[in-house]
Amino acid sequence: MNDPTARAALVPDRHPPHLAERTVEEAQVWHGSFLSLRRDVVALPDGRRAVREYIQHPGAVMVVPVLDDGRLVLERQYRYPVRRAMIEFPAGKLDPGESAFACAERELREETGYQADEWARAGVLHPAIGYADEFIEIWFARRLQAGERALDDGERLDVLAVPPDELLQAVCAGEVTDGKTLAALLWWQNVASGAWPLAWRAAAQWRAMAPAAQEAVP
Amino acid sequence: MNDPTARAALVPDRHPPHLAERTVEEAQVWHGSFLSLRRDVVALPDGRRAVREYIQHPGAVMVVPVLDDGRLVLERQYRYPVRRAMIEFPAGKLDPGESAFACAERELREETGYQADEWARAGVLHPAIGYADEFIEIWFARRLQAGERALDDGERLDVLAVPPDELLQAVCAGEVTDGKTLAALLWWQNVASGAWPLAWRAAAQWRAMAPAAQEAVP
């Protein structure tokens, strides 16, 4: 969104020869109900071998839903791995063949009941680069209308509408610690200040767009 | 750091009865060179059973190193799971029995060569609450002196000093996508603006403190 030519790129090459690792062997070593685990052997830049273990993930989408009065829609959900209820923006995994926009619209409606007239694709984050290939697309939604939720079987969550200042205070106080939600708040704060402009489009426009075209916006 | 009594807590109870899940069975189903995988059976609030699979992680520390001229010290490192070089703040896993501060000081010195006279504990983030119990403590370091690196065998990374505005532009442009680094930038931005004050202490003071006392600061 900013002009990348105005400064030196921080990652001029995704595979710099002095850092890049090359796949030598690959194996799926575990496949459970939800997680798949890979164990690959790689060649380091000096030719030596090393083992890399990581979770294979289909990718996900997170939505930052902004109500007309400025409050943000969030969820309170029990997250068993960390043994506590967490505050987080709505998010969910991509279904096979699903576009990021379709996933964003579906997850927002299913989990919170809200539908949005206008959407913008902000960016992407990688939550656990040491041990997962997961990416999370970050989308903003506005012009929201409340409706009925349709939770998955066994899914339980509270829906909250929180003023942004209160949410930021809760981060500072250590009450909100979900990584993707903190990354989304960095986006929200810079969008709200005008530093990072978003390309808003009508939902119908996004729906008509092929996934590759979605990724090329703006 | 803010007065939590000034607003309603977003997570009044870590284990709200209508959301909390209770462990019924637990099993370690895979133990590799780096990752351990758990597969637990839980009881949902309505008594039904569900399976929860997740990575067990020792926890980690990330450092936001601020040079006297305001630039931030970052690393460029190849991350095989996402198949690209990533820009990130220095971070590393806790060794058994190691305090968060000792880990922060060690990782900063080993990976970048820098030592810091003053440190502050900002907060914590949970990077992948759907499938990992990992937490990452966020520490700030200032009054930095450059020195010699001591990389682990096979560890390869570039050290960069980047003006914050340039780093934020790179996030907006989609070049910096590491989740923990975006969360750290949310902290940096609010610390820099004065909204979130930090409790800076001399390195020697932190070193003399027991881990439980570190966690109680401020």
Q: What is the mean pLDDT of residues A48-60?
A: 97
pLDDT at A97 over 80: yes
Distance between CA atoms of residues A75 and B127, nearest Å: 17
Distance between CA atoms of residues A147 and A37, nearest Å: 38
Q: What is the mean pLDDT of residues B188-194?
A: 98
Distance between CA atoms of residues B94 and B102, nearest Å: 9
Q: Which residues on chain A are in Cβ contact (under 8 Å) with B55?
A: 55, 81, 131
Of the candidates B11, B80, B175, the beta carbon closest to that of A9 is on: B175
Distance between CA atoms of residues B54 and B24, nearest Å: 15
Of the candidates B20, B158, B182, the beta carbon closest to that of A78 is on: B20
ipTM for the assembly: 0.95
CB atoms within 10 A of CB B13: 12
pLDDT digits (tens, 9 = 90+) for A6-31: 578 898 899 999 999 999 999 999 99
Q: Which residues on chain A are in Cβ contact (under 8 Å) with B132?
A: 81, 128, 131-132
pLDDT at A123 over 70: yes
Q: Which residues on chain A are in Cβ contact (under 8 Å) with B123?
A: 171-172, 174, 177
3-state SS of chain B is CCCHHHCCCCCCCCCCCCCCCEEEECCEEEECCCCEEEEEEEECCCCCEEEEEEEECCCEEEEEEECCCCCEEEEEEEEHHHCEEEEECCEEECCCCCCHHHHHHHHHHHHHCCEEEEEEEEEEEECCCCCECCCEEEEEEEEEECCCCCCCCCCCCEEEEECHHHHHHHHHCCCCCEHHHHHHHHHHHHHHCCCCCCCCEEHHHHHCCCHHHHHCCC
pLDDT at A217 (0 to 100)? 75
Q: Distance from CA of residue B25 to its chain's centroid?
A: 29
Q: Is B200 within 8 Å of B118 (Cβ atoms)?
A: yes
